[in-house]
C-alpha cells in the first residue's frame, strides 16, 4: 500500500491546492490507494490522469471538471503599491510562499510558489496577479512543495495548540479569580464567626458575674 501511495504521489503535480477535496497531493494519493476515484486532480490535467490510470491499470475515467480548472505554469506576484498588509494571502498559501508582516508590504517567494492561485480570492484589494513562467521553473518550485506544505501543516497545528493553551490559561486565570473571591468571602465569614465567638465569651462572663452589664455592652460595641 505504502509503495502504491508513493508511486501515485510521484505522479501528482504537487500544487498542494486541495482542489481534489483533500488537503494536499499526498492525502489524495492515500485516498486513491484506498479506492477513491483517481480523476479529481484537474490541475494535473490529462497527462497526470493517464499516468495514474496506468499505475492502477484502470483507464475507465475521464477528468472530473467539477474539481476545478487546469493550472498552467505560473507564479503569483504582489503589486507592492496596492498591498495593505492584511496577511490574508499568507493564511491562504498552502506552502508558505508569501513573506510579510501585518500592515507591511508582502512578497511572494518565487522559488516556493506553485502557482496554485489560492491566495488570489482572499486578497481584499485584488493586488495579486499571476505571471506565466516556463514549465521547467514551475516543476522546480513544485519539486519541494510537499516539504513546505508539511511544514505549514505542522505550523498551523502548533498555532492551534498554542491558541488552545492560551485559552486554557485565560480560563485558569478566571478560575483563580473566582477562587480568590470565594476565599475572600470565606475570610469575611471567618471575621463574623470570630465576632460571634467573642460575643458568646462576653455573655458567658456576664453569666458568671465576671463583668457588669454596662461594661459588657461597652465591650460589645467595640467589636
Ligand atoms: S495538485 Fe491539487 S488537485 Fe492535484 S492532487 Fe495535488 S492537491 Fe489535489
Ligand atoms: S503564493 Fe499564491 S499562488 Fe503561490 S503557492 Fe502561495 S497561494 Fe499558491
Ligand atoms: S491579501 Fe493582498 S493586501 Fe493582503 S497582504 Fe496579501 S497581497 Fe497584501
Residue 16 near ligand 2, beta carbon < 6 Å: no
Domain ranges, ordered by start, for the chain: 2-67, 74-143, 156-222
Q: What is the pLDDT of residues 50-61, one digit of tens each?
A: 999 999 999 999
Look at residue 222 in the predicted model and tell me its pLDDT. 67
With pLDDT > 70 as the criterion, what percentage of the chain qualifies? 84
For residues 104 and 51, the answer to whether their CB atoms sit within 8 Å is: no
> Is residue 3 predicted with pLDDT exceeding 90?
yes
Percent of the chain with pLDDT over 90: 64
Q: Which CATH class for the 74-143 domain?
A: alpha beta
What does the pLDDT read at residue 53? 98
Cα 161 to middle of ligand 1, angstroms: 27
**Grid cell digits, residue 13:** 503535480
In 3D space, the residue among 39, 18, 35 whose CA is nearest the CA of residue 27 turns out to be 18
Q: Is 61 in the pocket of ligand 2 (CB under 6 A)?
A: no
Q: Supply the DSSP symbol for 16.
A: -
Nine-digit cell string for 171: 480560563
Instruction: Say yes or no: CB of residue 49 within 6 Å of ligand 3.
Output: no
Q: For residue 210, what pLDDT band results from cuts at 50, 70 and 90?
A: low
Q: What is the pLDDT of residues 155-171, one digit of tens each?
A: 888 988 888 877 777 77
Neighbours of 99 (CB within 10 A): 13
Q: Is the predicted pLDDT of residue 31 greater than 80, yes or no?
A: yes
CATH of domain 2-67: 1.10.15
Which range (30-44, 98-112, 155-169) has the least confidence?
155-169
Confidence class of residue 176 from pLDDT cuts 50, 70 and 90? low
| pLDDT of amino acid 94 | 95
CA of 143 to the centre of ligand 3 (A): 26
Q: Report the pLDDT value the prediction gives residue 174, as an integer from 0 to 100.
A: 72
Q: Does residue 97 line the site of ligand 3, with CB under 6 A? A: no
Q: Do domains 2-67 and 74-143 have the same CATH topology?
A: no
Sequence-distant (6+) residues with CB within 8 A of 47 are none
Amino acid at each position: 500500500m505504502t509503495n502504491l501511495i508513493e508511486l501515485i504521489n510521484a505522479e501528482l503535480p504537487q500544487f498542494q491546492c486541495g482542489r481534489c477535496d483533500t488537503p494536499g497531493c499526498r492525502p489524495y494519493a492515500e485516498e486513491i490507494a484506498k479506492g477513491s476515484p483517481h480523476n479529481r486532480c484537474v490541475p494535473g490535467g490529462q497527462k497526470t490522469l493517464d499516468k495514474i490510470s496506468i499505475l492502477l491499470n484502470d483507464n475507465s475515467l475521464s477528468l472530473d471538471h467539477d474539481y476545478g480548472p487546469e493550472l498552467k505554469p505560473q507564479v503569483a506576484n504582489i503589486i507592492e503599491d496596492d498591498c495593505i498588509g492584511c496577511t490574508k494571502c499568507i493564511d491562504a498559501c498552502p506552502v508558505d510562499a508569501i513573506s510579510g508582516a501585518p500592515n507591511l508590504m508582502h512578497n511572494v517567494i518565487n522559488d516556493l510558489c506553485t502557482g496554485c492561485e489560492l491566495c488570489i480570492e482572499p486578497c481584499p484589494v485584488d493586488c495579486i496577479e499571476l505571471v506565466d513562467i516556463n514549465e521547467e521553473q514551475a516543476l522546480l518550485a513544485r519539486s519541494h512543495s510537499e516539504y513546505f506544505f508539511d511544514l505549514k501543516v505542522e505550523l498551523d497545528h502548533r498555532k492551534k495548540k498554542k491558541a488552545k493553551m492560551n485559552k486554557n490559561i485565560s480560563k485558569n486565570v478566571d478560575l483563580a479569580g473566582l477562587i480568590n473571591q470565594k476565599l475572600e468571602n470565606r475570610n469575611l465569614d471567618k471575621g463574623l464567626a470570630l465576632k460571634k465567638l467573642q460575643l458568646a465569651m462576653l455573655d458567658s462572663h456576664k453569666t458568671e458575674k465576671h463583668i457588669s452589664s454596662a461594661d459588657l455592652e461597652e465591650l460589645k460595641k467595640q467589636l
